[in-house]
Structure 1
Amino acid sequence: MPSNPNPLNPWEVLVEAQRRVPALRFAIGVAGIAAAAAIVSHFAGDTRSAVILISLVFVGMILLFAFSRLVTARSRGARIAGELLLWSVTAFFVLFLGFTAWAAFDGRPCNWAEFLNWRRHPSCIQTNGEKPPSDPDTHTSAALQTYDGFTIMIPQDQKPPSPRYWSSKGGYWEEAYPDGVRSFHDITGRIVLNGCNGTRTRKQDYPIFEVFIPDRDCQAKRLMFRLNRDSWNWWLPMIDPK
C-alpha cells in the first residue's frame, strides 16, 4: 500500500483513507445500500424519492473523496482535519441509513417520510404541511361530514366501465374491485380544494398517487387526483355516495 497515494487516483486515495479511518468502510457500505434503495424506488414508480436518495449519495461520496484527500495529505494538521471530517460524514451516513430504514418500515420520522414521498405513520397525519380546513368546526365534525362509501366507474378501452367500491375504514379507505381484489388508501390529512373541505388520501402500493375526497356539503360530488405532488385534477364522479 503506498504511503503517498496518487492524488489523481480515487481508489488509492480511498484505500489510504480507510487505513487511517477504518469506519470509512462502513460509510461506503451505507452509500451502496442507499444507492440500491434508490434503484428499487425508481422501479417501484417513486421517481422523486429515487432522485433524492441518489443525489444525497452522490454528494456524500464527493465529500468522502474530498476529505480522504486531506487524510492522506503530508501536513499533520490537514490529516487531523480530514479525519474529523471523515468521521462527521460517516456519522451522517449512519443517521441517513437509520432514518431512511425507519421511514421505509414504520413511516417515521414524519417529515423524512413525507420528504421521500413514502407512506407515513398514522400519527403523522396531523403534522402534514397542507393547509387545514378554514372552517374551525371541521375538525370536530369531520366524522359527520365525510362519506362512508361511494362507487366510481373506471373507463376501459373497448370494454364497459369497471366499478370500484370505496368504503371508509376509519384511518384509511378501502377500494374493492369486482374480482375481489382490494387496494388501500391511507388518510394523510384534511385540506381545502376549490373552497371545498375534504380528505386527502395516498395509495399504499403507489404512494405518488393521491386522491381528494370531498365532504358531504360540497356541491361537486367528484374526486380529484394528483401524481408526484403535481397540481390537482378533476377525476371521476362519485356514484351513490353514502
Structure 2
Amino acid sequence: MSLKYQVVPVTSFAQNCSIVWCDETMIGVVIDPGGDVQQLEMLIKELGVKVESLVLTHGHLDHVGGTEPLAQALNANIVGPHQADNFWLQGLENQSQMFGFPLTKAFVPNRWLDDGDTVTFGQQTLQVIHTPGHTPGHVVLYSAEAKQAFVGDVLFKGGIGRTDFPQGDYNTLIDSIKQKLWPLGNDVAFVPGHGPESTFGSERVSNPFVADEMPLY
C-alpha cells in the first residue's frame, strides 16, 4: 500500500490543489480545493478516488474557494485549518470581492485541526503540524511513511509565504519552517501551495530565506 497524489493547479492564482489517496482502498482526501470545482470533480471521478474529506491548510480564498460546493458534490467533510484562521473563513465574502473571485460565503469546517492531530483515509495517515506565520492557523500535513508533506503557503521552492497579511509574522514563519519542518528530514518531498515541488534538504541548501547558513533572525 502506498500514498498517491495528483496536483491540480486551480484558480487564477495557480494554487496547487492535491488529490491524495490510499492506493489499496482508493479512499482519499482533497487538500486545498481553491476553485475550479467541476474540473476537480471530473478528475476525482477519472482517478476512481472516494473522497472522504476536504482538508484545508489555511483560510485564504485561493486555497478554500471551492470547498463548500465540492463538499456537497462529494458528500465529504470539511477538515481544518487550525481555529486561529477562523477570521479568514468568516471574511471570505470580503476576500472574494477584493480578488475578483466568485462570491464565496463564510463557512465553518466540520472539524478544526490542532498540532499533533491526524487525518486518516484508507490505510494512510497524515500528521497535522501547526505552522503559523503566513496565517496564524496554518497547518502542514505530513505522511511519515511516504516522506511527503503538503505545506500550503509556508514554504516554496526558493521562497517562503508572505507575512504581510493580517496576523502574519515573519519570525514566526521562519521558526515554523526551521523548528517544525526541518526536523522531519532532508529527504522529505513537499507540495507547496504554488509552484514546483521540492525537498526540505534542497531548500536547506538553496532557499535564500531559510538556508542553513542564514542566521535564525
TM-score (norm 1): 0.26
Q: Relative contact order (C-alpha < 8 Å, sep 6+): which is higher?
A: 2
Structure number with larger C-alpha Rg: 1
